Structure 1
Amino acid sequence: MPRQEIVAAVQRWLVEVVVGLNLCPFARRPLRAGQVRLAVSEARDDDPLMAELLAEMQRLDRAPVEELETTLLILPDHLPDFADFNQFLDLAEWLIERHDYSGIYQLATFHPAYQFAGTNPADAENLTNRAPYPILHLIREASIERVLKSYPDPESIPENNIRRVESLGEEEKHRLFPYLFRW
């Protein structure tokens, strides 16, 4: 699939799902300000992906937060199986620690087949982390700390998100998550 179509699908998901459903109350401002980098990975196995992930952290190091708040590394050609993706996250966390990025960057993850532990695949709460492609989202820890200071009751965000996606009708789910119903 052409890179621009991949980016367009993720952009649509960000606008309609993440911001549109208010799943991340902190996403609207950087998205509107053009401070979100959507990088399409060319990796087809773990080693090149690790190199790309490190390069994206280094890019964030070099860019002022006013220009680049966060990066979503989109994986169209690697880790389509959620179990493999989940296993890879141990390597990604190791990379963050090994390069002294703990406390600087946090990794949020999304996947078309995302499934929280203890849930069934069809449980609505899994929709909160389902995206058109596997995604590694690098977030600046300082930015999280800054926005959490002014956000009332941040602990309620996950529960609010679950209630929001549970309230979606089937037609709305098909519209917002077409990639989940293409087969």
Structure 2
Amino acid sequence: MSSTTLPSAAHAIAETRAWVDRAVIGLNLCPFAKAVQVKGQVRYVVCTNSEPEVLLSMLIDELHALAHCEPSETDTTLLIHPAALIDFLDFNDFLGVVDDALDELGYSGTLQVASFHPQFQFADTAANDLSNATNRSPYPTLHILREASIDRAVAAFPEPEAIFEANIQTLEDLGADGWAALQAQCRKDAQTS
């Protein structure tokens, strides 16, 4: 798929699901992800609009929806937005708007939003640093999580602070070529689903 062609919503979901299965779960980047994925408790939603205001409106709708449904039905939501905030710096700036929305809606302490982006870059890292791949998704994505679910998962995991360091080691062991091959496989999976 060329960078100028927007994927269909179905394709964006399929590729994101493949990334969750192959990278997030397959590489064990998040040891808490497998259970909710297997139980079908991950909601995948796509914003096809390029306007940040429309994305914010969808985010607010998804925050309300997650806050008012049972965790057994939907424990977490991935809001994928392939047309909006494709520049990482714009995306990163938008995260302040996300935090403000959580506060204004009264969801701080109940819900949180994690960020994933194809060009994700941690502060003080080079753009090609493999550590950035821990937060690199096929498309810009806002991951809405329940604080209670995070607390339960962390309580059940010995030394949760070691996860990030283990992820860095996993990605360094995989190497740039391995990461590129994994991304290519996710794209292939999406085309055949």
TM-score of the two chains, using structure 1 as the length reference: 0.95
CA contact (8 A) 2:116 2:135 kept: yes
Give identity over the alignment, percent. Answer: 41
Q: Which residue of 2 aligns with 1:158?
A: 164
Q: Which of 20, 25, 28 is residue 34 of structure 2 equivalent to?
A: 28
Q: Which of 15, 20, 24 is residue 21 of structure 2 equivalent to?
A: 15
Q: Which residue of 1 aligns with 2:109?
A: 103
3-state DSSP of counterpart to 1:146:
helix
Q: Which residue of 2 aligns with 1:137?
A: 143
Structure 1 window deviating more from structure 2 (169-178 vs 107-116): it is 169-178
1:39 partner letter: V
3-state DSSP of counterpart to 1:168:
helix
3-state DSSP of counterpart to 1:176:
helix
Q: Runs of 4+ in structure 1 displaced over 2 angstroms?
A: none
Query: Does residue 1:77 correspond to 2:109, yes or no?
Result: no
3-state DSSP of counterpart to 1:67:
coil
Kindly state the Cα deviation for residue 170 of structure 1 after the two structures are TM-superposed: 4.1
2:34 partner letter: R
Query: Does residue 1:45 correspond to 2:54, yes or no?
Result: no
| Aligned equivalents of 1:81, 1:50: Cα separation in 2 | 16
| Aligned equivalents of 1:52, 1:43: Cα separation in 2 | 10
Q: Which residue of 1 aligns with 2:12?
A: 6
**What's the CA shift string for 1:69-108, capped at 9, x where partnerless?**
0000001111110000000000011000010000011111
CA contact (8 A) 2:117 2:141 kept: yes
User: How many residues are treated as equivalent by the alignment?
Assistant: 179
Q: Which residue of 1 aligns with 2:4?
A: none
| Aligned equivalents of 2:16, 2:84: Cα separation in 1 | 16
CA contact (8 A) 2:110 2:147 kept: yes
Q: CA RMSD in A?
A: 1.2
State the structure with bigger RCO (CA 8 A, min sep 6), 1 or 2: 2
Unaligned runs of 5+ in 2: 1-6, 186-193
1:9 partner letter: E
Q: Which residue of 1 aligns with 2:99?
A: 93
TM-score of the two chains, using structure 2 as the length reference: 0.90
CA contact (8 A) 2:15 2:138 kept: yes
